[in-house]
Amino acid sequence: MDRNIVIRVVDLTKRFGDFTAVDKVNFEVEEGEIFGFLGPNGAGKTTTINMLITLLRPTSGEAYVAGYNVVKEPYRVRSKIGVVFQDPTVDRYLTGYENMYIHGLIYGLSGEELKRRIDELLQFVDLYEFKDKPVKMYSGGMIRRLEIARSLLHIPRILFLDEPTLGLDPQTRAKIWEYIKRLRDEHNVTIFMTTHYMDEAEKLCDRIAIIDHGRIIALDTPENLIKMVGDEVVHVKVRGDLTMALEKLGSINSYVKDVDIKAGQIIFSVSNSAKAIPTILEFLSETGVDVEEVKYHKPDMGDVFLKLTGREIREDEGSWKDMVRTVMRRWR
């Protein structure tokens, strides 16, 4: 049985002057899917989302959300989607309940039905007991939960989440993941989310599009993406010239499937690290290469990104920005 396509994007492009933020992107999202856009900061994730939610006009290409063209029928698109932006969009002087109530009105709801849904959703995100507190007294995680609840008020078919756990502590992140999963499982809402957290994409998404410099460089299920890297990965940091080491590596043994040098390390994709590591080390010492550090682990999205781009998604870079953001928010 064919599943419904709820987002279709064809050659979508956005240029700001000379800079191409999103470059001929193509993808489709099926109904009921959790679809992730994974990439470093500045890769074009938010720009893509802003075009899909009708706030930014594409330079060229087309996008259909819930069957409607985002440029020609923005009001139809808006009535079918829920959006949680990267930065808070709540009114801090109003209570959680009042924020929900206003949202309901501007989405055409009213009366008893609206009140019932607000109560239901506030319970869903565990904020019911704080509903009459002004939002300025909420923590960052509570605000994010309120915004998720608010975005569901009008029963959207598709929910857009832009970095839903940015700047949140691990516990709150886990909680948000749980809500996102339950939304899909219990309410059959399609979810389109962006993130620069590898673990988030891997744990949550049914399919992931990896985006870098405005282009999609891979699109598949997390399992298939990880399979690209191999069963296990061994990172070896060596002293001295890396190209020298690579020349000598040739074919080592049957456990090593692939050898690569990325980000200053030799990366071996292996099928059995317990057997492969000793032979790798033996080989390196025989050829006179000084080994400084050896690490091995099950491959994750980080290895996939590294393999595809030759760079790591610098999570610390992200958290630095988060910190500035949080400080700025407090300061206000």
Give the separation between CA 258 and CA 270, rounded to whole angstroms. Answer: 7
Q: How far is CA 193 from the centre of its chain?
A: 6
Minimum gap (Å) between residue 68 Cβ and other proteins: 10
CB 136 within 8 A of CB 90: no
Size of the site for other proteins (CB under 8 A): 35
In the complex with other proteins, which residue's Cβ is closer, 26 or 60? 60
In the complex with other proteins, which residue's Cβ is closer, 38 or 125? 125
Alpha carbon of 177 to those of 53, 153, 184, 221, 296: distances in Å?
22, 19, 11, 18, 28
By CB atoms closer than 10 A (0-12, 13-18, 19+), residue 164 is buried
Q: Is 132 in the site for other proteins (CB under 8 A)?
A: no
Q: Is 87 in the site for other proteins (CB under 8 A)?
A: yes
Q: Is 207 in the site for other proteins (CB under 8 A)?
A: no
The residue behind tokens 């610098």 is 314
- Out of 35, 85, 192, 197, name the contact with other proteins by CB under 8 A: 85
Q: Is 98 in the site for other proteins (CB under 8 A)?
A: yes
- Out of 15, 24, 76, 325, name the contact with other proteins by CB under 8 A: 76
Alpha carbon of 258 to those of 32, 89, 203, 224, 234: distances in Å?
36, 47, 26, 17, 11
Q: Is 93 in the site for other proteins (CB under 8 A)?
A: yes
Q: How far from each other are the two terminal CA atoms of the chain, in whole angstroms?
A: 52
Minimum gap (Å) between residue 70 Cβ and other proteins: 12
In the complex with other proteins, which residue's Cβ is closer, 35 or 68? 68
Closest CA to 264 of 246, 281, 288, 276: 246
- Out of 35, 37, 64, 107, name the contact with other proteins by CB under 8 A: 107
CB 29 within 8 A of CB 192: yes
Q: Is 106 in the site for other proteins (CB under 8 A)?
A: yes
Taking CB under 8 A as the binding criterion, the range among 47-55, 117-125, 225-233, 267-275 that sits at the site for other proteins is 47-55
Taking CB under 8 A as the binding criterion, the range among 13-21, 27-35, 75-83, 273-281 that sits at the site for other proteins is 75-83
CB 186 within 8 A of CB 155: no
Question: Where along the sequence are the contacts to other proteins (CB under 8 A)?
Answer: 50, 53-57, 72-76, 78-79, 81, 83, 85, 87-94, 98, 101-103, 105-108, 110, 134, 332
